[in-house]
Chains A and B, each alone.
Chain A
């Protein structure tokens, strides 16, 4: 067998270019799979580790105010393991030199020692010390955004009272991995801060001595979660409980879970494409190899090598290529996995990353890839086994060619003889030609996914902020307040126009499904805040009834327009009413429920009040307006539209760029792999023909046309299906990543089509040129002497 081994290595060396191309495609598939899987596994592992080390709660209980003694009753509930109570308060933060209003949430921690649940990790500094009422810890992201360090001072307004506080540490907690301000769509670490303060100090400032307004719990192993929640709601109803909820609805956790789900959805798609292409490439290369080595195979068999040992010889060659792909893929996957994980860690603001490339994932990838290799080469290996020695010693019968359909349609006269050769060669092996076209088309499609995110996000932002959410500035009050507050805002210099809004928390129920959401109520005919249907037409608010966005209605509640929805307001008198759904609107960002302001106020029955305002302002007076807002204690939030858009880009840009990079890289690997292999095989199949033509006086340029024209034609023909496939692929991605935060419409800009086409054309041209150089080395004398 040693001589066969020599042959193995030499064949591999002979095929090095093509083997390398196939190895690269296989490696891309493995790398892509491992990149997604290692990222997913690492994020889950890191998150779970973070959750368990910092004792992340399982049930969250916001209430208005309850005496500390009530906590004991919570502890008594069957199935409850640990209960921790605390005070949480909204606050306004004054940062010197920062002109816009900054708001935040402050959560109490014990005066000394760590909280029982939702413990903090400290990145810098220390925890607070007992008796020092002005000490705070701020979130790491907020500290970073403003370059604040332990030792710095911070002015805040809590409950209308100004306080000077001293930062002693920076850190975070599993509760605030994703830090989203109420009313905001995307994290804004500059204008929204998370703070922790000693329980006594915060209780004093927020009038919560001996009381709490938020409880967090963990459950025993066999607890009935819904039963515990119902029991908690019963106990806390007299204290203004607005409904306990499980971890799955906790905003930060929910956000993470949804993002991780999406990652999982996408992780299978791309590796499948790569493996399909690799299987095809292996098939063509090995089939060609076997046909050029027919006589060698016959000779081996004639010498007495068995079918098994000859087949095994070729299988070894295939497996060497496959194994090289796996090894390279593991290395590339590990590298890309650390990059992608790092981006996600930054995106999620996880305090640490435990990167893990699990051996099981490597095993999965390897097995799938080996199976792909075997499937791709099955036909060729079977042909080896079937080949009879005597038969193989005879030359192959000359191939029968036919005129192509295009010629028969009467275009023959228009085609030069070399062009007819191109067409007939492609038509002679229609399956191979189709597979090459398919491979190139896949590359085009994959490239489009790289830019699709950017296109669709730009579109979503345009629709959301251009048509629907059009304010310059959104102002929120700490509690429902009279309409006079709007008049006051409108009287500020630089405020051109204002509209009232009231946002109230509510539980929506239809049949057995329910969902907690803020109902947003404004006036009919509003011009700043508008509702838009799926055709981008403006939808007027109905006098009665409620308008839902289509995702909330169809995906979450399964309700249609015209059906009655049970609305439980979680504020004030907490009324429960049946309200008909009067229209569904399109909204790509968030989930929303909308009502007429008067109708909502009538429903709640606490007068003609509002909870915020949307303003058009004159940018010239922006600083002055922000200053006023900072001084108004009842203003607890303000969202500046342009910054919201910026926040979004900051959140998404890095990951979009990364994906564009990865998709482009992988697509180029596919394009080069397919075109280069196709070119090399065409070259070996045609070298005799082309050399004959050279002898007859054809120049290098002229024979290049025949070889490269074939590739060019394949590439060009692949463009329309490629662009169509890209659109379908993006459509699939769009449909698979919809969640409560956003739905992705299928929007592709012309530039994206052009980009995909151009990259594949360039990749094809480069691969073609690599093969073109080989034409110069054609042995003209050899072809005169040998029979094909």
Chain B
């Protein structure tokens, strides 16, 4: 089913969640990470998820990324049912549609930048060449460097190149600048913005950093497992314009 966005009527819905809850059993304590999330994410939009620790933003991202399943409620990506418990289905979903960028990059230390990207392009159906993906993040001169030979910002850009090389439909980023200084963080955010702009990849970024919200189409604030507020930016700032 295709629904219309209230603010971007030309855009199709990518994700739709209804009544999503997530309860973790931590020893003898039940932790309610999500307490009923109803949300649509639209194709090609850039969303920033804000919220304090424990607000449920990571849990939501994990569920959208097919890494976790809700305790109750439904999650759909186009015609994929992500509330399923079937591991193989979720793996295929991740493989075909999702690009991940992690706070700690999670590069494979034994592979060069190019090979880290190739790791993903080798299993993708319609990937771009690894060199092209690395060019998109301005790393053409670092193709054969191992992670230990790269700075933090460069490692994160390799991770972004790895995430986008398969031309994913969605790019999910969990604190992508969390381990970086300001100037490096801006370079990384610019890479994300460029990918979103040039490839039209739906992008969701989790962050503590309120400043990043300026570059989003929409800013979704979570608090205590619920959506507290959704803010629509009338105009997106470029990362260089952000003030931290």
Contact = CB atoms under 8 A, between A and B. Distances in A.
A400 B123 CA distance: 26
B110 A401 contact: yes
A689 B119 CA distance: 12
Interface string B48-78: 0000000000100010010110000000000
A399 B148 CA distance: 6
A417 B113 CA distance: 12
A428 B95 CA distance: 29
B122 A416 contact: yes
A686 to B, nearest CB: 9
A623 interface: no
Given A401-B148, A417-B115, A781 B62 contact: yes
A702 B94 CA distance: 14
Nearest to A427: B110
B118 A417 contact: yes
Interface string A692-719: 1111111110100000000000000000
Given A401-B109, A403-B112, A697-B124, 10 more contacts: A398-B148, A400-B146, A417-B115, A417-B119, A695-B94, A780-B67, A781-B58, A783-B102, A784-B67, A784-B103
7 contacts: A424-B111, A695-B106, A696-B100, A697-B124, A700-B91, A784-B62, A785-B174
Given A401-B146, A784-B102, A698 B118 contact: no
A697 B109 contact: no
B125 to A, nearest CB: 11
B137 interface: no
Contacts of B148: 397-401
A688 interface: yes
Nearest to A425: B110
A787 interface: yes
Of the candidates B108, B119, B120, B162, the one having the most CB atoms from chain A within 10 angstroms of its own CB is B108
B214 interface: no
A711 B236 CA distance: 51
B104 to A, nearest CB: 5
Contacts of A424: 110-111
B69 to A, nearest CB: 11
Contact of A784 (B108, B111, B162, B174): B174
B199 to A, nearest CB: 18
Contact of B94 (A401, A689, A697, A785): A697
Interface in A742-788: 780-781, 783-788
B95 to A, nearest CB: 3
Interface string A63-107: 000000000000000000000000000000000000000000000
B147 interface: yes
| Top 9 closest pairs, chain A to chain B, by CB | A697-B95, A692-B106, A424-B110, A697-B94, A401-B110, A398-B148, A400-B148, A787-B104, A417-B119
Interface string A653-695: 0000000000000000000000000000000000011001111
B190 interface: no
A205 B208 CA distance: 114
Interface of B: 58, 62, 65, 67-68, 87-88, 91-92, 94-96, 98, 100, 102-104, 106, 108-112, 115, 118-120, 122-124, 146-149, 162, 174, 179
Contact of B91 (A397, A401, A694): A694
Contact of B111 (A421, A696, A702): A421
B87 to A, nearest CB: 8
Contacts of A428: 110
Given A421-B108, A699-B91, A785 B119 contact: no
B162 A696 contact: yes
Interface string A599-613: 000000000000000
Interface in A383-434: 397-403, 416-418, 420-421, 424-425, 428
Contacts of A699: 88, 91, 95
A787 B115 CA distance: 21
A696 B119 contact: yes
A210 to B, nearest CB: 94
A36 to B, nearest CB: 45
Contacts of A420: 110-111, 115
Nearest to B108: A689
A681 to B, nearest CB: 16
B123 A702 contact: yes
Nearest to B93: A697
A785 B67 CA distance: 13
A160 to B, nearest CB: 89
A461 B223 CA distance: 86
A688 B68 CA distance: 17
Nearest to B101: A784
Contacts of B91: 694, 697-700
Nearest to B112: A403
Contacts of B111: 401, 417, 420-421, 424
B110 A688 contact: no
Contacts of B98: 697
B53 to A, nearest CB: 11
Contacts of A785: 58, 103, 174
B67 A692 contact: no
Given A417-B122, A702-B123, A783 B103 contact: no
A73 B188 CA distance: 112
A781 B68 contact: yes
Of the candidates A397, A398, A697, the one having the most CB atoms from chain B within 10 angstroms of its own CB is A697
Contact of A398 (B58, B95, B100, B109): B109
Contacts of B109: 398-399, 401, 689
Contacts of A692: 102, 106, 108
Contacts of A694: 91
A683 to B, nearest CB: 15
Nearest to A688: B106
A410 to B, nearest CB: 15
A696 B120 contact: yes
B110 A421 contact: yes
Contact of A697 (B87, B96, B106): B96
A688 B88 CA distance: 20
A211 B193 CA distance: 119
A278 to B, nearest CB: 29
Contacts of B68: 781
A713 to B, nearest CB: 14
Given A417-B122, A785-B58, A696 B146 contact: no
A426 to B, nearest CB: 10
A780 B67 CA distance: 7
A699 B96 CA distance: 12
A786 B106 CA distance: 9
Nearest to A776: B87
A412 to B, nearest CB: 10
Of the candidates A428, A696, A787, the one having the most CB atoms from chain B within 10 angstroms of its own CB is A696
Contacts of A698: 91, 95, 123
A694 B58 CA distance: 18
Given A399-B148, A781-B67, A784-B103, A696 B94 contact: yes
Nearest to B179: A787
B163 to A, nearest CB: 8
A694 to B, nearest CB: 7
